[in-house]
A and B are shown apart, each in its own frame.
Chain A
Protein backbone atom coordinates (compact mmCIF):
# COMPACT_ATOMS: atom_id res chain seq x y z
CA UNK A 1 0.00 0.00 0.00
CA UNK A 2 1.21 3.44 -0.91
CA UNK A 3 -0.66 5.19 1.86
CA UNK A 4 -0.89 4.29 5.51
CA UNK A 5 -4.58 5.12 5.50
CA UNK A 6 -7.01 5.27 2.60
CA UNK A 7 -10.62 6.14 3.18
CA UNK A 8 -12.97 5.55 0.29
CA UNK A 9 -16.63 6.48 0.03
CA UNK A 10 -17.20 6.54 3.77
CA UNK A 11 -20.79 7.24 4.81
CA UNK A 12 -22.39 7.05 8.19
CA UNK A 13 -26.05 7.30 9.05
CA UNK A 14 -27.41 7.13 12.55
CA UNK A 15 -30.78 5.46 12.92
CA UNK A 16 -32.68 6.55 16.00
CA UNK A 17 -35.43 3.99 16.48
CA UNK A 18 -37.29 5.78 19.22
CA UNK A 19 -37.55 9.02 17.33
CA UNK A 20 -38.06 7.28 13.99
CA UNK A 21 -35.26 9.33 12.44
CA UNK A 22 -32.28 8.75 10.21
CA UNK A 23 -29.46 11.20 10.53
CA UNK A 24 -26.85 11.22 7.79
CA UNK A 25 -23.71 12.44 9.50
CA UNK A 26 -21.19 12.14 6.67
CA UNK A 27 -21.17 10.81 3.14
CA UNK A 28 -18.71 10.14 0.37
CA UNK A 29 -15.63 10.88 2.41
CA UNK A 30 -12.26 10.24 0.72
CA UNK A 31 -8.99 10.74 2.59
CA UNK A 32 -5.44 9.59 1.93
CA UNK A 33 -2.77 9.75 4.58
CA UNK A 34 0.82 8.86 3.77
CA UNK A 35 3.18 7.50 6.36
CA UNK A 36 4.73 10.28 8.43
CA UNK A 37 2.22 12.89 7.31
CA UNK A 38 0.21 15.21 9.48
CA UNK A 39 -3.22 15.67 7.98
CA UNK A 40 -5.64 18.20 9.39
CA UNK A 41 -9.41 18.33 9.20
CA UNK A 42 -11.22 21.61 9.72
CA UNK A 43 -14.84 22.59 9.61
CA UNK A 44 -17.74 23.90 11.64
CA UNK A 45 -19.21 22.10 14.62
CA UNK A 46 -21.60 19.45 13.47
CA UNK A 47 -19.98 19.01 10.09
CA UNK A 48 -19.04 15.45 10.91
CA UNK A 49 -15.34 15.71 11.71
CA UNK A 50 -15.41 13.59 14.84
CA UNK A 51 -17.65 11.06 13.14
CA UNK A 52 -14.89 10.38 10.63
CA UNK A 53 -12.29 9.82 13.35
CA UNK A 54 -14.62 7.60 15.35
CA UNK A 55 -15.28 5.50 12.27
CA UNK A 56 -11.54 5.00 11.84
CA UNK A 57 -11.10 4.08 15.50
CA UNK A 58 -14.01 1.65 15.27
CA UNK A 59 -16.26 3.36 17.77
CA UNK A 60 -18.82 3.92 15.04
CA UNK A 61 -19.79 1.09 12.76
CA UNK A 62 -20.16 2.18 9.19
CA UNK A 63 -22.43 0.78 6.53
CA UNK A 64 -20.81 2.13 3.37
CA UNK A 65 -17.25 2.63 2.27
CA UNK A 66 -13.93 1.26 3.34
CA UNK A 67 -11.09 2.37 5.58
CA UNK A 68 -7.92 0.70 4.38
CA UNK A 69 -5.10 0.72 6.87
CA UNK A 70 -1.67 -0.75 6.33
CA UNK A 71 -1.16 -2.65 9.56
CA UNK A 72 2.24 -3.77 10.72
CA UNK A 73 0.77 -6.92 12.15
CA UNK A 74 -1.95 -7.86 9.68
CA UNK A 75 -0.90 -6.10 6.46
CA UNK A 76 -3.51 -4.05 4.61
CA UNK A 77 -6.87 -4.36 6.38
CA UNK A 78 -10.24 -2.67 6.11
CA UNK A 79 -10.86 -1.18 9.54
CA UNK A 80 -14.58 -1.19 8.89
CA UNK A 81 -14.50 -4.96 8.59
CA UNK A 82 -11.85 -6.24 11.01
CA UNK A 83 -12.98 -8.49 13.86
CA UNK A 84 -13.45 -7.10 17.34
CA UNK A 85 -10.31 -8.79 18.61
CA UNK A 86 -8.27 -7.43 15.73
CA UNK A 87 -9.54 -3.94 16.42
CA UNK A 88 -8.63 -4.32 20.10
CA UNK A 89 -5.15 -5.43 19.08
CA UNK A 90 -4.74 -2.47 16.74
CA UNK A 91 -5.91 -0.04 19.42
CA UNK A 92 -3.47 -1.52 21.85
CA UNK A 93 -0.49 -1.52 19.52
CA UNK A 94 -0.95 0.62 16.43
CA UNK A 95 -3.70 3.22 16.53
CA UNK A 96 -4.00 5.85 19.23
CA UNK A 97 -6.85 8.24 19.91
CA UNK A 98 -6.72 11.47 21.87
CA UNK A 99 -9.66 13.73 22.51
CA UNK A 100 -10.15 16.64 24.86
CA UNK A 101 -11.80 14.26 27.27
CA UNK A 102 -9.80 11.91 29.40
CA UNK A 103 -11.58 8.61 29.71
CA UNK A 104 -9.83 6.63 32.36
CA UNK A 105 -10.49 4.26 35.15
CA UNK A 106 -11.54 6.21 38.18
CA UNK A 107 -9.29 6.01 41.23
CA UNK A 108 -6.18 5.31 39.19
CA UNK A 109 -3.22 7.65 39.62
CA UNK A 110 -1.44 9.33 36.73
CA UNK A 111 1.60 7.17 37.41
CA UNK A 112 -0.43 3.94 37.33
CA UNK A 113 -2.15 4.99 34.11
CA UNK A 114 1.05 5.57 32.21
CA UNK A 115 2.70 2.53 33.70
CA UNK A 116 -0.23 0.35 32.71
CA UNK A 117 0.06 1.52 29.12
CA UNK A 118 3.77 0.68 29.12
CA UNK A 119 3.15 -2.74 30.65
CA UNK A 120 0.57 -3.47 27.96
CA UNK A 121 3.30 -3.03 25.41
CA UNK A 122 5.03 -6.02 26.90
CA UNK A 123 7.70 -4.32 29.02
CA UNK A 124 8.60 -5.60 32.47
CA UNK A 125 7.87 -3.85 35.76
CA UNK A 126 11.30 -2.36 36.21
CA UNK A 127 11.50 -0.83 32.75
CA UNK A 128 7.94 0.40 33.10
CA UNK A 129 8.73 2.24 36.34
CA UNK A 130 11.69 4.03 34.79
CA UNK A 131 9.87 4.85 31.55
CA UNK A 132 6.88 6.21 33.45
CA UNK A 133 9.04 8.74 35.27
CA UNK A 134 10.69 9.71 32.00
CA UNK A 135 7.40 10.23 30.21
CA UNK A 136 5.73 12.17 33.01
CA UNK A 137 8.74 14.49 33.19
CA UNK A 138 8.83 14.86 29.44
CA UNK A 139 5.20 15.95 29.35
CA UNK A 140 5.88 18.48 32.09
CA UNK A 141 3.44 17.10 34.56
CA UNK A 142 4.54 18.41 37.93
CA UNK A 143 5.81 15.75 40.28
CA UNK A 144 3.22 16.31 42.98
CA UNK A 145 0.52 15.20 40.55
CA UNK A 146 2.05 11.85 39.71
CA UNK A 147 0.40 10.04 42.54
CA UNK A 148 -2.96 11.74 42.48
CA UNK A 149 -6.12 11.01 40.52
CA UNK A 150 -6.56 12.68 37.12
CA UNK A 151 -10.15 13.61 38.04
CA UNK A 152 -8.61 16.38 40.15
CA UNK A 153 -6.40 17.73 37.35
CA UNK A 154 -6.92 20.90 35.36
CA UNK A 155 -7.95 20.65 31.71
CA UNK A 156 -4.42 21.19 30.42
CA UNK A 157 -2.92 18.66 32.80
CA UNK A 158 -5.52 16.08 31.84
CA UNK A 159 -4.80 16.64 28.20
CA UNK A 160 -1.07 16.27 28.59
CA UNK A 161 -1.60 13.07 30.52
CA UNK A 162 -3.98 11.94 27.80
CA UNK A 163 -1.40 12.51 25.09
CA UNK A 164 1.32 10.98 27.23
CA UNK A 165 -0.71 7.84 27.64
CA UNK A 166 -1.34 7.58 23.92
CA UNK A 167 2.32 8.34 23.17
CA UNK A 168 3.94 5.65 25.25
CA UNK A 169 2.39 3.14 22.93
CA UNK A 170 4.25 4.73 20.04
CA UNK A 171 1.25 4.39 17.75
CA UNK A 172 1.84 4.34 14.02
CA UNK A 173 -1.32 6.33 13.52
CA UNK A 174 -2.53 8.88 16.02
CA UNK A 175 -6.02 10.34 15.79
CA UNK A 176 -6.43 13.72 17.45
CA UNK A 177 -9.99 14.82 18.10
CA UNK A 178 -9.78 18.51 18.93
CA UNK A 179 -7.37 17.97 21.74
CA UNK A 180 -6.71 21.66 22.18
CA UNK A 181 -10.31 22.79 22.52
CA UNK A 182 -10.84 24.52 25.84
CA UNK A 183 -7.15 25.10 26.46
CA UNK A 184 -5.50 28.45 27.09
CA UNK A 185 -2.89 29.82 24.73
CA UNK A 186 0.08 28.69 26.79
CA UNK A 187 -1.14 25.12 27.11
CA UNK A 188 -1.91 25.05 23.41
CA UNK A 189 1.68 25.97 22.64
CA UNK A 190 2.92 23.16 24.85
CA UNK A 191 0.72 20.73 22.97
CA UNK A 192 1.95 22.12 19.67
CA UNK A 193 5.54 21.45 20.67
CA UNK A 194 4.61 17.90 21.61
CA UNK A 195 2.94 17.37 18.26
CA UNK A 196 5.98 18.71 16.45
CA UNK A 197 8.16 16.29 18.36
CA UNK A 198 5.88 13.44 17.37
CA UNK A 199 6.11 14.51 13.75
CA UNK A 200 9.87 14.46 13.95
CA UNK A 201 9.71 10.97 15.38
CA UNK A 202 7.70 9.95 12.32
CA UNK A 203 4.25 9.41 13.85
CA UNK A 204 1.49 9.69 11.29
CA UNK A 205 -1.32 11.90 12.51
CA UNK A 206 -4.82 12.79 11.49
CA UNK A 207 -6.21 15.60 13.56
CA UNK A 208 -9.20 17.85 13.97
CA UNK A 209 -8.51 21.37 15.11
CA UNK A 210 -10.86 24.24 15.51
CA UNK A 211 -8.32 26.88 15.53
CA UNK A 212 -6.70 27.50 12.21
CA UNK A 213 -3.73 29.37 13.59
CA UNK A 214 -2.78 26.25 15.44
CA UNK A 215 -2.84 24.20 12.29
CA UNK A 216 -0.60 26.60 10.42
CA UNK A 217 2.87 25.34 9.64
CA UNK A 218 1.90 22.00 11.08
CA UNK A 219 -0.13 20.20 8.44
CA UNK A 220 1.09 18.60 5.28
CA UNK A 221 -2.43 18.52 3.99
CA UNK A 222 -5.74 19.95 5.05
CA UNK A 223 -9.29 18.82 4.40
CA UNK A 224 -12.23 21.07 4.98
CA UNK A 225 -15.54 19.55 5.92
CA UNK A 226 -18.86 21.08 5.14
CA UNK A 227 -22.18 19.44 5.90
CA UNK A 228 -20.80 15.94 5.94
CA UNK A 229 -18.62 16.08 2.85
CA UNK A 230 -15.05 16.94 2.11
CA UNK A 231 -12.86 19.15 0.04
CA UNK A 232 -9.09 19.14 -0.13
CA UNK A 233 -7.56 22.51 0.62
CA UNK A 234 -4.10 21.79 -0.76
CA UNK A 235 -0.95 21.67 1.27
Chain B
Protein backbone atom coordinates (compact mmCIF):
# COMPACT_ATOMS: atom_id res chain seq x y z
CA UNK B 1 0.00 0.00 0.00
CA UNK B 2 2.21 2.79 -1.14
CA UNK B 3 3.15 4.77 -4.17
CA UNK B 4 2.63 7.89 -2.14
CA UNK B 5 5.37 10.45 -2.27
CA UNK B 6 8.65 10.02 -0.42
CA UNK B 7 9.34 12.41 2.44
CA UNK B 8 11.36 15.58 1.74
CA UNK B 9 12.86 15.46 5.21
CA UNK B 10 13.25 12.51 7.57
CA UNK B 11 14.54 13.02 11.06
CA UNK B 12 15.44 10.05 13.22
CA UNK B 13 16.22 9.98 16.92
CA UNK B 14 17.47 13.51 17.11
CA UNK B 15 19.00 14.19 20.52
CA UNK B 16 20.37 17.44 21.82
CA UNK B 17 21.66 17.95 25.32
CA UNK B 18 23.27 20.99 26.88
CA UNK B 19 25.82 19.81 29.40
CA UNK B 20 27.98 16.72 29.78
CA UNK B 21 25.46 14.37 31.37
CA UNK B 22 26.36 12.20 34.34
CA UNK B 23 25.74 8.63 35.52
CA UNK B 24 22.63 9.83 37.36
CA UNK B 25 20.81 11.37 34.46
CA UNK B 26 21.85 8.76 31.92
CA UNK B 27 19.73 6.11 33.59
CA UNK B 28 16.39 5.72 31.93
CA UNK B 29 14.34 6.11 35.12
CA UNK B 30 16.44 8.66 36.92
CA UNK B 31 15.16 10.18 40.14
CA UNK B 32 17.56 13.07 39.81
CA UNK B 33 15.71 14.66 36.91
CA UNK B 34 13.33 17.56 37.23
CA UNK B 35 11.50 17.51 33.92
CA UNK B 36 14.40 17.44 31.46
CA UNK B 37 16.97 19.01 33.82
CA UNK B 38 19.46 16.95 35.79
CA UNK B 39 19.85 18.17 39.37
CA UNK B 40 23.29 16.61 39.77
CA UNK B 41 25.22 17.86 36.75
CA UNK B 42 22.91 20.58 35.45
CA UNK B 43 22.49 19.02 32.04
CA UNK B 44 19.40 19.99 30.06
CA UNK B 45 18.03 17.41 27.66
CA UNK B 46 16.44 19.70 25.09
CA UNK B 47 15.47 17.12 22.46
CA UNK B 48 15.07 13.44 23.20
CA UNK B 49 14.73 10.93 20.38
CA UNK B 50 12.71 13.21 18.14
CA UNK B 51 11.71 11.48 14.89
CA UNK B 52 9.39 12.64 12.14
CA UNK B 53 8.90 12.98 8.40
CA UNK B 54 7.90 15.93 6.26
CA UNK B 55 6.22 15.17 2.92
CA UNK B 56 6.23 17.27 -0.25
CA UNK B 57 3.94 20.27 -0.10
CA UNK B 58 2.77 19.67 3.44
CA UNK B 59 2.84 21.87 6.50
CA UNK B 60 3.96 20.07 9.64
CA UNK B 61 3.06 21.90 12.83
CA UNK B 62 5.00 21.57 16.07
CA UNK B 63 3.33 22.75 19.27
CA UNK B 64 4.43 22.63 22.87
CA UNK B 65 4.97 24.84 25.88
CA UNK B 66 7.95 27.17 26.20
CA UNK B 67 11.04 25.14 26.94
CA UNK B 68 9.75 21.96 25.35
CA UNK B 69 12.55 21.93 22.78
CA UNK B 70 10.78 23.27 19.69
CA UNK B 71 13.27 25.98 18.85
CA UNK B 72 16.26 23.80 19.68
CA UNK B 73 14.91 21.26 17.23
CA UNK B 74 14.64 23.92 14.52
CA UNK B 75 18.14 25.21 15.29
CA UNK B 76 19.53 21.69 14.95
CA UNK B 77 17.78 21.22 11.61
CA UNK B 78 19.26 24.46 10.31
CA UNK B 79 22.70 23.59 11.75
CA UNK B 80 22.66 26.57 14.11
CA UNK B 81 23.37 23.99 16.82
CA UNK B 82 25.22 20.69 16.58
CA UNK B 83 23.16 17.68 17.54
CA UNK B 84 24.32 15.32 20.26
CA UNK B 85 23.07 12.31 18.31
CA UNK B 86 20.67 11.65 15.49
CA UNK B 87 20.08 11.51 11.79
CA UNK B 88 18.39 13.69 9.19
CA UNK B 89 17.97 13.14 5.48
CA UNK B 90 16.81 15.53 2.77
CA UNK B 91 15.56 13.90 -0.41
CA UNK B 92 17.19 16.50 -2.65
CA UNK B 93 20.66 15.97 -1.16
CA UNK B 94 22.57 12.88 -2.31
CA UNK B 95 19.29 11.08 -2.98
CA UNK B 96 18.46 11.32 0.68
CA UNK B 97 21.10 8.77 1.56
CA UNK B 98 23.50 10.85 3.63
CA UNK B 99 22.99 11.79 7.26
CA UNK B 100 23.10 15.59 7.17
CA UNK B 101 24.41 15.87 10.71
CA UNK B 102 27.57 13.97 9.79
CA UNK B 103 28.43 16.04 6.75
CA UNK B 104 31.32 18.51 6.72
CA UNK B 105 30.79 22.14 7.69
CA UNK B 106 31.12 23.04 4.03
CA UNK B 107 28.46 20.56 2.97
CA UNK B 108 26.17 21.80 5.72
CA UNK B 109 26.56 25.33 4.43
CA UNK B 110 25.72 24.11 0.95
CA UNK B 111 22.59 22.33 2.17
CA UNK B 112 21.50 25.34 4.18
CA UNK B 113 22.06 27.75 1.31
CA UNK B 114 20.49 25.64 -1.40
CA UNK B 115 17.83 23.50 0.23
CA UNK B 116 16.50 25.34 3.23
CA UNK B 117 15.11 28.64 4.30
CA UNK B 118 14.50 29.69 7.85
CA UNK B 119 12.51 32.45 9.45
CA UNK B 120 13.35 33.22 13.06
CA UNK B 121 11.00 34.52 15.70
CA UNK B 122 13.49 37.28 16.34
CA UNK B 123 14.28 39.12 13.08
CA UNK B 124 17.62 40.19 14.54
CA UNK B 125 18.80 36.60 14.10
CA UNK B 126 17.62 36.24 10.55
CA UNK B 127 18.46 39.62 9.08
CA UNK B 128 21.31 42.08 9.03
CA UNK B 129 19.47 45.07 10.36
CA UNK B 130 21.81 47.65 8.85
CA UNK B 131 21.95 46.21 5.34
CA UNK B 132 19.32 47.17 2.82
CA UNK B 133 16.40 44.78 2.52
CA UNK B 134 17.34 43.80 -0.98
CA UNK B 135 20.93 43.41 0.20
CA UNK B 136 19.75 40.90 2.78
CA UNK B 137 18.17 38.86 0.03
CA UNK B 138 21.25 39.20 -2.16
CA UNK B 139 23.34 37.84 0.70
CA UNK B 140 21.44 34.57 0.59
CA UNK B 141 21.56 34.50 -3.21
CA UNK B 142 25.32 35.04 -3.21
CA UNK B 143 25.72 32.29 -0.62
CA UNK B 144 23.82 30.04 -3.01
CA UNK B 145 26.32 30.82 -5.76
CA UNK B 146 24.72 33.67 -7.69
CA UNK B 147 27.06 36.32 -9.04
CA UNK B 148 25.01 38.40 -11.47
CA UNK B 149 24.01 41.67 -9.88
CA UNK B 150 21.24 42.41 -12.35
CA UNK B 151 19.65 39.01 -11.86
CA UNK B 152 19.85 39.27 -8.09
CA UNK B 153 18.30 42.72 -8.11
CA UNK B 154 15.47 41.43 -10.24
CA UNK B 155 14.86 38.39 -8.06
CA UNK B 156 15.07 40.49 -4.88
CA UNK B 157 12.55 42.99 -6.16
CA UNK B 158 10.22 40.24 -7.29
CA UNK B 159 10.36 38.61 -3.85
CA UNK B 160 9.83 41.82 -1.92
CA UNK B 161 6.91 42.51 -4.16
CA UNK B 162 5.50 39.09 -3.40
CA UNK B 163 5.68 39.70 0.34
CA UNK B 164 4.15 43.15 -0.09
CA UNK B 165 7.14 45.32 0.75
CA UNK B 166 6.76 48.47 -1.38
CA UNK B 167 9.35 48.52 -4.15
CA UNK B 168 10.48 52.04 -3.32
CA UNK B 169 11.54 50.88 0.15
CA UNK B 170 13.63 47.95 -1.01
CA UNK B 171 16.91 49.74 -0.40
CA UNK B 172 15.94 50.69 3.11
CA UNK B 173 17.38 48.75 6.06
CA UNK B 174 15.04 46.46 8.00
CA UNK B 175 15.82 48.32 11.23
CA UNK B 176 13.48 51.04 9.95
CA UNK B 177 10.65 48.57 9.41
CA UNK B 178 7.84 47.43 11.63
CA UNK B 179 7.92 43.91 13.12
CA UNK B 180 5.51 42.55 10.53
CA UNK B 181 7.55 44.01 7.66
CA UNK B 182 10.74 42.57 9.11
CA UNK B 183 9.12 39.13 9.23
CA UNK B 184 8.08 39.53 5.61
CA UNK B 185 11.62 40.49 4.57
CA UNK B 186 12.84 37.37 6.39
CA UNK B 187 10.33 35.28 4.48
CA UNK B 188 11.45 36.81 1.18
CA UNK B 189 15.05 36.07 2.09
CA UNK B 190 14.26 32.50 3.11
CA UNK B 191 12.49 31.89 -0.20
CA UNK B 192 15.13 33.44 -2.42
CA UNK B 193 16.97 30.21 -3.28
CA UNK B 194 13.79 28.22 -4.06
CA UNK B 195 14.22 25.89 -1.11
CA UNK B 196 12.14 22.71 -0.99
CA UNK B 197 11.98 23.12 2.79
CA UNK B 198 11.08 26.14 4.87
CA UNK B 199 11.55 26.27 8.66
CA UNK B 200 9.32 28.78 10.44
CA UNK B 201 9.98 29.36 14.12
CA UNK B 202 7.20 31.28 15.86
CA UNK B 203 6.93 33.71 12.99
CA UNK B 204 3.78 35.44 14.16
CA UNK B 205 4.51 35.62 17.87
CA UNK B 206 4.52 39.18 19.09
CA UNK B 207 2.78 40.63 16.07
CA UNK B 208 -0.60 42.25 16.39
CA UNK B 209 -3.60 40.35 15.04
CA UNK B 210 -4.01 42.11 11.72
CA UNK B 211 -0.31 41.89 10.95
CA UNK B 212 -0.33 38.26 12.05
CA UNK B 213 -3.13 37.66 9.59
CA UNK B 214 -1.19 39.19 6.72
CA UNK B 215 1.89 37.09 7.50
CA UNK B 216 -0.21 33.91 7.76
CA UNK B 217 -2.02 34.66 4.50
CA UNK B 218 1.33 35.18 2.87
CA UNK B 219 2.68 31.85 4.12
CA UNK B 220 -0.43 30.02 2.99
CA UNK B 221 -0.43 31.54 -0.47
CA UNK B 222 3.28 30.91 -0.94
CA UNK B 223 2.85 27.32 0.10
CA UNK B 224 -0.01 26.92 -2.35
CA UNK B 225 1.79 28.56 -5.25
CA UNK B 226 5.24 27.12 -4.73
CA UNK B 227 4.31 23.80 -3.14
CA UNK B 228 7.14 23.99 -0.60
CA UNK B 229 7.17 21.86 2.53
CA UNK B 230 7.05 23.79 5.77
CA UNK B 231 7.89 22.94 9.35
CA UNK B 232 5.99 25.40 11.48
CA UNK B 233 6.71 25.86 15.16
CA UNK B 234 4.13 27.75 17.14
CA UNK B 235 2.48 27.71 20.50
CA UNK B 236 -0.58 29.32 18.98
CA UNK B 237 -3.09 26.59 18.24
CA UNK B 238 -5.05 28.94 15.99
CA UNK B 239 -2.06 29.26 13.70
CA UNK B 240 -1.59 25.50 13.71
CA UNK B 241 -5.25 24.89 12.95
CA UNK B 242 -5.12 27.27 10.04
CA UNK B 243 -1.92 26.08 8.43
CA UNK B 244 -0.79 22.63 9.50
CA UNK B 245 -1.85 19.34 7.88
CA UNK B 246 -0.22 17.27 10.60
CA UNK B 247 0.99 18.20 14.04
CA UNK B 248 3.54 17.02 16.59
CA UNK B 249 3.15 17.83 20.26
CA UNK B 250 6.36 18.25 22.27
CA UNK B 251 6.82 18.18 26.02
CA UNK B 252 10.10 18.20 27.93
CA UNK B 253 12.07 17.48 24.79
CA UNK B 254 10.00 14.53 23.62
CA UNK B 255 7.33 14.11 21.00
CA UNK B 256 4.44 12.93 23.13
CA UNK B 257 1.78 12.83 20.49
CA UNK B 258 1.36 13.23 16.76
CA UNK B 259 -1.46 13.08 14.29
CA UNK B 260 -3.56 14.92 11.77
CA UNK B 261 -4.18 18.43 13.02
CA UNK B 262 -7.91 17.84 13.52
CA UNK B 263 -7.11 14.69 15.50
CA UNK B 264 -4.83 16.60 17.82
CA UNK B 265 -7.36 19.39 18.29
CA UNK B 266 -10.53 17.33 18.55
CA UNK B 267 -9.35 14.05 20.04
CA UNK B 268 -6.18 14.77 22.00
CA UNK B 269 -4.84 11.71 23.80
CA UNK B 270 -2.04 12.80 26.10
CA UNK B 271 -2.77 14.64 29.30
CA UNK B 272 -0.66 17.61 28.31
CA UNK B 273 -2.28 17.88 24.87
CA UNK B 274 -5.74 17.82 26.42
CA UNK B 275 -4.71 20.58 28.76
CA UNK B 276 -3.31 22.60 25.88
CA UNK B 277 -6.37 22.16 23.68
CA UNK B 278 -8.77 22.92 26.50
CA UNK B 279 -6.87 26.10 27.22
CA UNK B 280 -7.92 27.44 23.84
CA UNK B 281 -10.07 30.47 24.38
Contacts and interface: CB of A to CB of B under 8 A. Distances in A.
Given A59-B262, A61-B259, A106-B213, A18 B1 contact: no
A77 B4 CA distance: 15
7 contacts: A18-B271, A18-B278, A60-B267, A84-B258, A86-B4, A88-B260, A105-B220
A153 interface: no
A17 B269 CA distance: 9
A58 B263 contact: yes
A94 B131 CA distance: 50
B39 interface: no
Contacts of A107: 213, 217
B1 A59 contact: no
A171 to B, nearest CB: 17
Interface string A11-29: 0001111100000000000
Nearest to B270: A17
Give the interface size bracket for B toward A.
Answer: 20 to 34
Interface in A155-189: none
Interface residues of A, number: 24
B245 interface: yes
A61 B273 CA distance: 15
Given A58-B263, A84-B246, A87-B260, 11 more contacts: A18-B271, A58-B262, A59-B266, A60-B267, A74-B1, A84-B260, A85-B5, A85-B55, A88-B58, A88-B245, A105-B220
Contacts of B31: none
A63 B273 CA distance: 18
A221 B55 CA distance: 40
Contact of A61 (B3, B220, B224, B269): B269
B260 A18 contact: no
A54 interface: yes
Contacts of A60: 263, 266-267
A77 B217 contact: no
B4 A84 contact: no
A106 B4 contact: no
B30 interface: no
Interface in A73-129: 73-75, 77, 84-89, 105-107, 116
B271 A17 contact: yes
A54 B245 contact: no
Interface string B262-281: 11001101110011001000
Contacts of B3: 73
Contact of B275 (A18, A73, A84, A106): A18
B226 to A, nearest CB: 13
A54 B266 contact: yes
A90 B87 CA distance: 30
Q: Which of B5, B245, B263 has the most CB of A within 10 A?
A: B263
A49 to B, nearest CB: 16
B242 interface: yes
Contact of A18 (B58, B242, B263, B274): B274
Given A77-B1, A85-B4, A58 B271 contact: no
Interface string A43-58: 0000000000010001
A5 B157 CA distance: 53
Interface in B1-15: 1, 3-5
A60 B274 CA distance: 14
Contacts of A58: 260, 262-263
Nearest to A82: B1
A142 B163 CA distance: 32
Contacts of B224: 116
